[in-house]
């Protein structure tokens, strides 16, 4: 084997499963080839990372890039552009597009659209429905498939499976971990009258904490009955955290930066821009989700990047759609929380790289280790910046964090050894590839 390297990321403070320390990272053929003190004369190109922290590449396991069907809000190129500008090296994209991602043909179409057009690596969730339940064992193992995603509470799109029988039918077929939007549809339907015209602060009154808790309790019971593994997305209540702590054998859980950062007090300032499913709730629930992070009950962070245009969001509630941008702001918002002492850099790396690899079985991703893909998120922990709408690459063109000052900023995004973003500029052509999974590796 050659003793030379294509790239050397030199003298960075590496954050990894074995702690934090100053190391060089050498790259050959898109993978990490050496870690430690490497002679720079052996590298074709040396990138000085003195004073910077190098994290395993951040993977955002819940984004909505709206293609096909709603490209006026976002597409795979613009969404992934925002991802790498924000330090994200890989994404799992959701199935509620038009047409929905519920067939092998629809998945293959998305993979084809994304290949070498997206700036980061990618996988696509396949929607689980009553109609495709018999095909699930094959669908969840197809190239580019992140697994099966089910909406048991209505949100954007038409993938609702609300009844226990339908959920059980899907979980009886899954072999990989299935992901769920967990709100109880029957309770949501019964409480629609609580929505107040023109008042988005009534959103969490309608979609209350009981709707979330009831759905999550049902999910866990069905998972146990069918012998399935489940992943509960965007946890928004303190009660769910305490409940899921007792069921970690079958259920993993995701938190979002917005549920960790914002509260219902922000409706007065942001109006419908704060409207999400499940909702932003009062500070008690935000504290509860932080407890889940601190106690290890939360396994991953996902942005739930779900863009809508400002014109759509300007419609009077409840005609306004739920969703906000988030993939580009995930890293800076969470680095600011690190600097505020709310979590450590090691825990952030666990939530955004090792965690996704552990629970979804990503192949050669999630760690800085020899033989793994050279996916790196390089950050300046001391840098002070202001997040602005102008910085956001999404076609939607806005963020709920417009004007927010943060400490900690992504300065470099490296995907399979290619430095695709450096100091706020896209520096390489888009070369995104499907993420591979251990439970779906093709035969040699």
> Could you confirm whether 134 is annotated as catalytic?
no
User: Is residue 178 within 8 Å of residue 152, measured between CB atoms?
Assistant: no
Q: Per residue in 12-39, is it b (16+ CB within 10 Å) or e — as a string?
A: bbbbbeeeeeebbbbbbebbbbbbeebe
Q: Which of 184, 208, 304, 375 is labelled catalytic?
A: 304
Claim: this prediction has a pTM higher than 0.85: yes
Distance of CA 215 to the CA centre of its chain: 21
Positions in the chain whose pLDDT score sits under 70: 1-2, 153-158
Question: Can you name the residues that pair with 178 across neighbouring β-strands?
Answer: 230
Closest CA to 351 of 12, 11, 145, 88: 88
CATH of domain 5-54+370-382+407-436: 2.30.40.10
CATH 3.20.20.140, the chain: domain bounds: 57-360
Q: What is the pLDDT of residues 228-260, one digit of tens each?
A: 999 999 999 999 999 999 999 999 999 999 999
Return d(Cα 161, Cα 186) in angstroms, integer. Answer: 11
CATH of domain 57-360: 3.20.20.140
Return d(Cα 373, Cα 369) in angstroms, integer. Answer: 8
The predicted structure's pLDDT at residue 157: 53
The predicted structure's pLDDT at residue 1: 44
Our CA angle for 245, 247, 251, nearest 5°, is: 105
CATH 2.30.40.10, the chain: domain bounds: 5-54+370-382+407-436
The predicted structure's pLDDT at residue 402: 98
Our CA angle for 254, 16, 328, nearest 5°, is: 50
What are phi and psi for residue 427, nearest 5 degrees? Answer: -115, -5
Q: Give every CB contact of residue 28 below 8 A, 6+ residues apart in sequence.
A: 2, 4, 5, 6, 417
Return d(Cα 382, Cα 350) in angstroms, integer. Answer: 21
User: Is residue 58 within 8 Å of residue 353, measured between CB atoms?
Assistant: yes
Return d(Cα 203, Cα 206) in angstroms, integer. Answer: 5
Is it true that the peptide bond before 438 is cis, omega within 30 degrees of 0? no
Q: What is the pLDDT of residues 189-200, one digit of tens each?
A: 999 999 999 999
Closest CA to 96 of 160, 48, 6: 160
């Amino acid at each position: 084997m050659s003793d030379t390297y294509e790239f050397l990321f030199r003298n960075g403070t590496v954050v990894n499963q074995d702690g934090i320390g100053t190391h060089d990272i050498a790259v050959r053929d898109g993978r990490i080839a050496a870690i430690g003190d490497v002679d720079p004369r052996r590298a074709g190109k040396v990138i000085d990372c003195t004073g910077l922290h190098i994290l395993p590449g951040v993977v955002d396991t819940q984004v909505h890039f709206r293609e096909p069907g709603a490209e006026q809000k976002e597409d795979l190129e613009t969404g992934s552009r925002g991802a790498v500008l924000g330090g994200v090296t890989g994404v799992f994209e959701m199935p509620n597009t038009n047409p929905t991602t519920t067939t092998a043909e629809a998945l293959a179409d998305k993979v084809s659209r994304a290949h070498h057009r997206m700036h980061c690596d990618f996988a696509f969730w396949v929607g689980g429905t009553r109609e495709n339940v018999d095909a699930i064992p094959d669908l969840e193992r197809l190239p580019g498939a992140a697994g099966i995603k089910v909406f048991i509470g209505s949100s954007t799109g038409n993938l609702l499976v609300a009844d226990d029988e339908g959920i059980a039918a899907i979980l009886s077929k899954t072999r990989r971990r299935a992901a769920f939007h967990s709100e109880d549809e029957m309770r949501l339907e019964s409480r629609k009258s609580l929505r107040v015209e023109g008042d988005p602060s009534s959103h969490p009154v309608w979609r209350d904490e009981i709707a979330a808790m009831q759905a999550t309790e049902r999910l866990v019971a069905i998972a146990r009955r069918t012998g399935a593994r489940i992943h509960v997305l965007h946890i928004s209540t303190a009660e769910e955290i305490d409940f899921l702590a007792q069921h970690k054998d079958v259920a993993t859980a995701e938190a979002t930066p917005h549920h960790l950062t914002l509260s219902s007090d922000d409706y007065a300032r942001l109006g419908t821009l704060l409207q999400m499913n499940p909702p932003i709730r009062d500070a008690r629930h935000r504290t509860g989700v932080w407890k889940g992070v601190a106690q290890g009950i939360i396994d991953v962070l996902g942005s739930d990047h779900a863009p809508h245009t400002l014109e759509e969001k300007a419609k009077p509630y409840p005609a306004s759609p739920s969703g906000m941008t988030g993939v580009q702001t995930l890293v800076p918002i969470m680095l600011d929380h690190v600097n505020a002492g709310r979590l450590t850099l090691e825990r952030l790396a666990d939530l955004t790289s090792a965690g996704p690899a552990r629970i979804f079985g990503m192949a050669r991703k999630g760690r800085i280790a020899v033989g793994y893909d050279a996916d790196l998120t390089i950050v300046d922990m001391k840098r002070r910046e202001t997040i602005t709408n102008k910085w956001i690459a999404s076609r939607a063109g806005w963020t709920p964090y417009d004007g927010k000052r943060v400490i900690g900023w992504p300065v470099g995004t490296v995907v399979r050894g290619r430095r695709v973003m450096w100091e706020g500029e896209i520096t390489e052509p888009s070369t995104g590839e499907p993420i591979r999974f251990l439970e779906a590796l093709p035969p040699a």
